A and B are shown apart, each in its own frame.
Chain A
């Protein structure tokens, strides 16, 4: 499964980083970096939680 970010929606709030820090990282200017777009099976539930917790609905896992 793979993470995609809709950067038009992303506001750099950062919930994703707190729930899946191996996949998401906020930069000093608030930009989101995806550290690993490919999600291993054992990480799927953390990343799913991160996707659900995004207040701007900017994340997808498919």
Chain B
């Protein structure tokens, strides 16, 4: 969108005392945008527009602690900040419970319900929404897991000891399966692809990660799709029929088949939409004063040499802060680049990935992925370390993130891995403690 050599006109900076910053999407990226604007000294007005009734809350716990069998009732909602903090300390105008329906980049207004909210700078942070399974909207007991309301419904079903079928062996579906198994329930995970998690960690390691399910008593069916989800006549889900004719009885079906960026409301805005809001390296969305952050963004990530759309906590938090800083000082807009990171907790196993699985070679450098217990694998692109995956190896993973950040070489990564193995062997042979 920018001709090489010419600086784009990203818009004038909002007046630091009287300017109007509007943030659309009241979740992690939106909240971080607000906080970073205030931290940068912006004293103008900030309006935070959110489709949900809830104050901004944290999503990772929704498929983890929130679903676990604890004593007593439902855990507290994982709100990120208290309302008083948002309104009084951060001075935010909260417009919750109604979605923005349109962005007018010429008039510089966001349409929310019947209102027009004017901006000097706007940060689009509407995240992503869960993909639905066609033909299941009318059935009780079929849920995605994206929102607090979804998590509450899934938790209630687990409390009622639902026979559980999870459609999609991605991270969120796998966490739900873990929670259900943790309660001793019968769980089946159905994955249409022959190998789960191929896009996230690569096909080879995806199979190894997925094997964690079988080790914990979760039935995993791969390479088979869902033919239909059937109800009992009263509109409650009763069973799932698979392409190969298999029938699984189900009181709860959790649909974890991925997310789509929430850009529907931006159709007709003139912004470039292509699996996300297409941004430049500074998270500028192409119209004066319009920036974007979080799951909704597709942007060129120079550190990884890929154009990416992230779907993880760290990316959303960082981009929220970066987009707001740039929105307030467009002439000095800084490129945002990162080594992506996500974690996921299955059963008692922690899975962590840094960097990219788009690689020429994948090598296990520690442990045995075909057995229970810790292991580490590295991804090579050209002569560079480009990613790392750690299963129950929390002391290892971030050292590789630092290396990828620096553009570290494959040889250096292998030398580091060898040194870590030696250290571990030394410890094992050392005096028992």
Q: Give the B-binding residues of A (Cβ under 8 A).
A: 12-15, 17-18, 21, 25-30, 52-53, 55
CB within 8 A of A21: which of B60, B317, B321, B402? B402
* Minimum-distance CB pairs A-B, first 8: A18-B398, A18-B401, A17-B398, A30-B394, A14-B398, A26-B394, A26-B395, A28-B395
CB within 8 A of A53: which of B314, B393, B399, B405? B314
Known contacts A26-B395, A55-B60: A14-B352 contact under CB 8 Å: yes
Contact B397 A52 (CB under 8 A): no
Tell me if B336 counts as interface (CB < 8 A to partner A).
no
- A15 CB contacts on chain B under 8 angstroms: 314, 341, 398
Mark B332-346 against chain A: 1 for CB-CB distance below 8 A, else 0. 000000010101000
Q: How far is the CB of A38 from chain B (nearest CB, A)?
A: 22
Indicate the size class of the contact surface on chain B: 20 to 34
Known contacts A15-B341, A18-B341, A30-B350: A53-B398 contact under CB 8 Å: no
| A–B complex contacts, Cβ < 8 Å, 5 sampled | A15-B341, A26-B395, A30-B394, A53-B318, A55-B58
- Complex-state Cα separation, A52 to B397, whole angstroms: 19
- A21 CB contacts on chain B under 8 angstroms: 398-399, 402
Q: How far is the CB of B39 from chain A (nearest CB, A)?
A: 10
- Which residue on A lies nearest to B392, using beta carbons? A30
- B424 CB contacts on chain A under 8 angstroms: 28
- Complex-state Cα separation, A55 to B352, whole angstroms: 13
- Which residue on B lies nearest to A14, using beta carbons? B398
- Complex-state Cα separation, A12 to B395, whole angstroms: 9
Q: How far is the CB of A26 from chain B (nearest CB, A)?
A: 5
Contact A55 B313 (CB under 8 A): yes
- B343 CB contacts on chain A under 8 angstroms: 13, 55
- Which residue on A lies nearest to B400, using beta carbons? A18
Q: Give the A-binding residues of B (Cβ under 8 A).
A: 58, 60, 313-314, 317-318, 321, 339, 341, 343, 350, 352, 354, 393-395, 397-399, 401-402, 405, 424
> Can you name 19 extra interface pairs (CB under 8 A) apart from A18-B398, A26-B395, A55-B317?
A12-B394, A13-B394, A15-B341, A17-B399, A18-B339, A18-B341, A18-B402, A21-B398, A21-B399, A21-B402, A26-B394, A26-B398, A28-B393, A28-B394, A30-B350, A30-B394, A53-B317, A55-B58, A55-B314
- Complex-state Cα separation, A15 to B312, whole angstroms: 13
- Which residue on A lies nearest to B393, using beta carbons? A28
Q: What secondary structure prevails in chain A residues at the interface with B?
A: loop
Q: How far is the CB of A28 from chain B (nearest CB, A)?
A: 5
- Complex-state Cα separation, A13 to B317, whole angstroms: 15
CB within 8 A of B321: which of A27, A52, A55? A52
- Complex-state Cα separation, A55 to B318, whole angstroms: 11
- Complex-state Cα separation, A51 to B313, whole angstroms: 14
- A26 CB contacts on chain B under 8 angstroms: 394-395, 398
- Complex-state Cα separation, A17 to B58, whole angstroms: 22
Known contacts A14-B352, A18-B341, A30-B350: A52-B398 contact under CB 8 Å: no
- Complex-state Cα separation, A25 to B394, whole angstroms: 10
- Which residue on B lies nearest to A27, using beta carbons? B395
Which among B313, B314, B318, B394 has the highest number of chain A CB atoms within 10 Å?
B394
- A30 CB contacts on chain B under 8 angstroms: 350, 394-395
Q: How far is the CB of A56 from chain B (nearest CB, A)?
A: 9
Q: How far is the CB of A57 from chain B (nearest CB, A)?
A: 8
- Complex-state Cα separation, A17 to B352, whole angstroms: 14
